[in-house]
Amino acid sequence: MKPFKRRRRGGVVGVFEPTEAHLLLNLLGQVVELLQDRTGPSTSSPDPLFDQLVPAASHLPPEDPVLKRLLPDGYSDDAEASGDFRRYTERGLSSAKVANAEAVIESLVRGGMEPDGNDTDAEPVEVELDPAAVQAWLRSLTDLRLALAVRLGIETEDDVDAVAESDEEQVVVMSDIYDWLGYVQETLVGALD
C-alpha cells in the first residue's frame, strides 16, 4: 500500500495492491454479514418515521463478542435502560456500519478492484476519497480493528505485543492484519492534516 495523500485539487488518494484490496473486501464482507445476521438486511421503508417509532430489534445484547463490541450497551449499569436503548438504536447503528462498509467496497471497485477476484494480473487499486468517503473509511477501519481486537483478545497495549509474539501462525497473521489496518488508518488520518 502506498500511504494516503491529499491531492491539491481536493480529496484524498491511496493505492492498494490487489491482494490488499481483496483482504479489505473479505474483512468488510464478514463484518457486514455479522451485522446483517443480527439485525437483518437494511430495507427502505415507505415511512421511515414509523420504522424509528416501532422498534424491530431485540432488547437483548448480542451473544457474539464482536457484535457486543460493535453494538455496545448504552448503559452499563442499567440492564433495562440499556435494553430499551438497544431496541431503538441498534438497527440504525448497524445500518450505518453496513453503509460505511459498502462505501469502502464501492470506492475499491471504482478504483479498479475486481470484486470476483479475477485480477491476478491487475494494476494497483487507486481510491480517491471525498470527505464523506473519508469518514466511511475511518469508521469501517475502526470497526475492522475492533472486530480483530476482540477475536485476538486485545484489550491493552501489552496484549498487542503478546499477540504479535504468539507461537500460533494464525494468531500472528491476524495480528499482522490488525497492525496493517492501523497503518492504513494512520496514513488516512495523516493525509487529512
Q: What is the mean pLDDT of each run of 10 residues along the chain (193 residues)?
A: 91 95 96 88 54 59 91 90 89 94 96 76 90 97 97 93 92 96 97 90
Would 85 be classed as within a structural domain?
no
Would 51 be classed as within a structural domain?
no
Would 54 be classed as within a structural domain?
no
Give the span between the Cα atoms of 121 and 193, in whole angstroms.
34
pTM of the shown model: 0.87
| Residues whose CB falls within 8 Å of the CB of residue 178, separated by 6 or more in sequence, listed in order | 145, 148, 149, 152, 154, 160, 163
Q: What is the pLDDT of residue 135?
A: 97
What's the structural domain count of the chain?
1
Would 52 be classed as within a structural domain?
no
Give the span between the Cα atoms of 93 and 71, in whole angstroms.
7
Q: What is the pLDDT of residue 61?
A: 82
Would 87 be classed as within a structural domain?
no
Q: What is the pLDDT of residue 120?
A: 59
Would 68 be classed as within a structural domain?
no
Q: What is the pLDDT of residue 118?
A: 65
Would 56 be classed as within a structural domain?
no
Structural domain harbouring 99: 2-6+13-40+94-192
